[in-house]
Structure 1
Amino acid sequence: MTDGDDRPAGAAASGDEQPATVPQDGDGPAGRLPTAPDVHPFVAGGGPSPQPSTRRRWRLWAVLGLVLVLVGCGVPGVLLLGLVRDAAGRPAAGRDDRGTAAERRLGERMAVQLDRQAAALLNGDRAGFLAVAEPAARPALTRRYAALRALRVTAWRPVADGVPAAVDRRPEEWRLTVTVGYCFVVPGCTPSSVELGTRWRVAGDGEPRLTAVEESRATPAGARPWEVSDLTVAVGKRVVVATTPALRAKLPGLLAQAEAAAKVADLYAVAAPPPDRYLVFYAGRAEWQRWYGGGRPKWTAGYAVGVGGGHHDVVLNAQSLSPTGVDDLLRHELTHAASLPDRGYADRSSWWLVEGLAEYAGADGQPVDRYEGLAEARKLVRGGWGGRLDALAPADDAADDRVGGAYGIGYLAVRHLVDRFGEQRVLDFFRAVVHERRPVAEAADEVFGEPWSGLHDDCVAYLRAVAG
């Protein structure tokens, strides 16, 4: 991840690129979408740009937030509409080992309501979407409906997690946890997922009515922007960019930059096709504190977070971005989204490889002597680093120049491997180490045909010659 900034507010996308319009109530089913305009993109990360060290400081958090927190966050491979069925085809909530008979029957009625709401959402029927809720819940649901339609929702699959539970022993009020699989723009995508708490009241006619849908607080993603904010959206061929109405003027320039970055990032999809769409959110001051749980360090300008289904959402901090450096930042962040496994990675010893590849993509073929982190890499090479790539990852509280230097060393190591073996073999090595979690020595023997100990020493000698 790199620091950078959006284009000036009035910047327009090149050629015939236009921000996509926000769907209106009554538009056709989400599965029948108009052809997306030929637009260009933007993606994650950034930091106050005047000083390279500040520019790079945010990267550490973004990467660790993306990578380490994702480990072990599984996502269902198949998400069904309505309640999960057992082998006999009965709703799982109807099995005798799950709640009382009354709770099971109530859960089935709630599932019917959720299915109706899902169908209404996909068909552009706002009235139907709101019909399952009580009046007090409808303003928040109206905002959510509009945001999801603007993002061109193409799948919405609620799955009840268990049976309803009474709220504070009040028989008319209930809570039901629901996991929703969802897709944007692409009808046949592998769904992302979000766990939502829903609250219900049993009306006089015996039918459950939604009284609230709680914000997702599940780690690592927290509340998605479409849960809590009004959104305006631009859709390109490879990237979807969303922000608040107050910042809508930024969308054309950001989308153009993101589409250009996506063309580079697509080349680094390691073990699967590139993402069907990169999804980028541009956060104002309030949204930065709320989207995906907020709480990021002040120096953080952007981050990526896994949301399941092989997707990584990216968030940019509008308050931290500067007019320069955004392009390499976008290439860096989108490369993470394209190259990392869905479950992330847990081994800090491979940090240099993960970040080095993203930095290599961010540099986009520029000469080594023009790499903007070279001075920081030189400072770290000359002191403070023990010469081991597997011990390169900086601590969470590391100084700015230590963080920037670590990124620079990772870049130089990957650059040396690419210069010697070519990009494809380096990607094969990345897949073996990061995706398949094989020992680096084993991966080097298989992919490069040479012992890792010797290759490691060659990398260190190269970067000492360049940056020493």
Structure 2
Amino acid sequence: MTEDVPRRRSRWPLWTALAVVLSLLTCGLPAALLAAVARQVTERPAAVRPPGGPDDPDDPAARTARLLAAQLDRQAVALLRGDRAGFLAIADRSAHADLGRRYAALRALRVTVWRAEPTGPPTAVPGQPGRWRQPVTFRYCLVVPDCPPSPVPVATRWRESGDTPVLLAVEESRSERSGARPWEVSELVAVVGPRTMVATTPAYRKRLPGLLAEAEAAAKVADLYPVAGPPPDRYRVFYAGKAEWARWYGGGRPRWTAGYAVTVGGGQHEVVLNADALTTGDTGVLLRHELTHAASLPDRGYPGGGTWWLVEGLAEYAGADGAPVDRYEGLADVRRYAAGGWDGRLASLVPAADDTADRAGAAYGVGYLAVRHLVDRYGEQRTLAFFRAVVHDGRTVEEASGQVFDEPWQPLHDECVDYVRAASG
């Protein structure tokens, strides 16, 4: 299953910084939300009970589990009410630098829900008496106070200290499918608009106003393409410098990637833009592309492979935002690819990580033109219904074509290929 959806680089010059001064976000949580903090904690699902059960006073693991859960609840309350000292109070001084950065990043992102749920019994660390390792799932919402929270499974490490165990470390979630979130590993600043939240590191703070304006405009387009429910409550966008690009969500993206959308659960895909691959003119196109992924893709991700052309084709179609086909940037790449080594099969388009930017650009362009042909022939709504049947419902393209278009797929596939060759020729 594909965990993220990358988009190719533009060949345009690199970004020119926007000379706009950022007003830092300093507003706190609304009073009504603060009043709900205690309710959040009391509604936290019960932790997995260790052997012996929570009522067994002679079971040290059971007793430790209760004490750790209480400490995590205490920390959650402190985070949501803006109490940095309270957030750090459960931790050893050696952990304060890391936890203080996490606290500041989450507050900058306007965290509105934070729950720490133990996901198994604590285990004693071999050879270290009084030390415990506790798996935990953090569940969080940003900006919006009522959302399906995104989960982050991590491990925490503790030492005994009477009835108030002390937190020693929170490990990064890099071992999980989505990798480390930006707020786990970086100092962040952020701005929020009606439909989007855009965050980056302090080095790029002056770019935030322009990025927010671009993101808000892109959101108006992406909001047209949810196929199985409402669009996201807020589109979450992270702007990555070189170091962050290599680390956020596990890094390791193909060299031709300018941005990607990664599923983080709770109905959310978080979008990352590569600062080194963008220009002022290209940012809007990329944001429309990636936010459309966030609006259109299922929470679980999608199988990839033979459906790649459809997923990327729809995002490229949204990125073009109604522009004439002859203005599409990648037509020259498509022309060379169609005249060269392409086998004429949409299912074979997926670019490899080590492909050239031209080869990757051609693959995206073929997907765009194929989807454009479906829209021109059947309209957007039936094309979106076809997308839903294939990407969300798991139907084959043959089944979905008959169901949605009342046409067999192979002749329609061949029509799309003929259109690709004609439009790019």
Q: TM-score, normalised by structure 2?
A: 0.90
Q: Is the 8 A contact 2:48 2:121 kept in 1?
A: no
2:33 maps to 31
Instruction: Quote the offset at 1:178 in angstroms.
Output: 0.3
Q: For residue 149 of structure 1, what is the amino acid of its counterpart?
A: R
Instruction: Deviation per CA, 1:256-276: give whole Å up to 9, x if none.
Output: 001101110111111111011
DSSP 3-state at the match of 1:281: strand
Q: Is the 8 A contact 2:34 2:81 kept in 1?
A: no
Q: What is the total number of aligned residue pairs between the two structures?
A: 410
Q: Is the 8 A contact 2:138 2:153 kept in 1?
A: yes
- Alignment partners' CA distance in 2, 1:81 and 1:381: 60
- Alignment partners' CA distance in 2, 1:210 and 1:256: 40
Instruction: Deviation per CA, 1:315-368: give whole Å up to 9, x if none.
Output: 122223223311111111111111111111114111111111011001110111
1:336 aligns with 2:293: yes
1:177 maps to 135
For 1:104-143, what aligned pairs fall within 5 Å after superposition? 104-143=62-101
- Alignment partners' CA distance in 2, 1:311 and 1:19: 27
1:226 aligns with 2:183: yes
1:443 aligns with 2:400: yes
For 1:92-103, what aligned pairs fall within 5 Å after superposition? 92-94=48-50, 96=52, 101-103=59-61
Calculate percent identity across the aligned residue pairs. 60
DSSP 3-state at the match of 1:335: helix
Q: Is the 8 A contact 1:177 1:198 kept in 2?
A: yes
- Alignment partners' CA distance in 2, 1:121 and 1:190: 19
- Alignment partners' CA distance in 2, 1:94 and 1:174: 13
Gaps spanning 5+ residues in structure 1: where? 13-17, 34-78, 86-90
1:194 maps to 152
Instruction: Quote the offset at 1:229 in angstroms.
Output: 1.5
2:25 maps to 21
Change in 2 beyond 3 A, CA 1:118/1:6: farther
Q: For residue 268 of structure 2, what is the amino acid of its counterpart?
A: H
RMSD: 2.4
1:400 maps to 357
2:18 maps to 9
Change in 2 beyond 3 A, CA 1:7/1:236: farther
1:305 maps to 262
Instruction: Deviation per CA, 1:76-125: give whole Å up to 9, x if none.
Output: xxx9868743xxxxx53255379981101101110001011111111112
Change in 2 beyond 3 A, CA 1:314/1:170: same
Q: 205, 220, 234: which is aligned to 1:263? A: 220
Q: Is the 8 A contact 1:183 1:190 kept in 2?
A: yes
Instruction: Quote the offset at 1:393 in angstroms.
Output: 2.0
Q: Is the 8 A contact 2:114 2:138 kept in 1?
A: yes
Q: Is the 8 A contact 2:150 2:265 kept in 1?
A: yes
DSSP 3-state at the match of 2:394: coil
1:254 maps to 211
Change in 2 beyond 3 A, CA 1:328/1:455: same
Q: For residue 136 of structure 1, what is the amino acid of its counterpart?
A: S
Higher relative contact order (CA 8 A, sep 6+): 1
Q: For residue 137 of structure 2, what is the amino acid of its counterpart?
A: T
Instruction: Quote the offset at 1:8 in angstroms.
Output: 3.0
DSSP 3-state at the match of 2:239: strand
DSSP 3-state at the match of 2:130: strand
Instruction: Quote the offset at 1:424 in angstroms.
Output: 0.5
Q: Is the 8 A contact 2:334 2:424 kept in 1?
A: yes
1:45 maps to none
Instruction: Quote the offset at 1:30 in angstroms.
Output: 8.5
1:287 aligns with 2:244: yes
Instruction: Deviation per CA, 1:353-395: give whole Å up to 9, x if none.
Output: 1111011001110111111111111111112111111222223
- Alignment partners' CA distance in 1, 2:137 and 2:62: 18
Change in 2 beyond 3 A, CA 1:6/1:187: farther
1:152 maps to 110
Instruction: Quote the offset at 1:11 in angstroms.
Output: 4.5
Change in 2 beyond 3 A, CA 1:221/1:287: same
1:409 aligns with 2:366: yes
Change in 2 beyond 3 A, CA 1:234/1:323: same
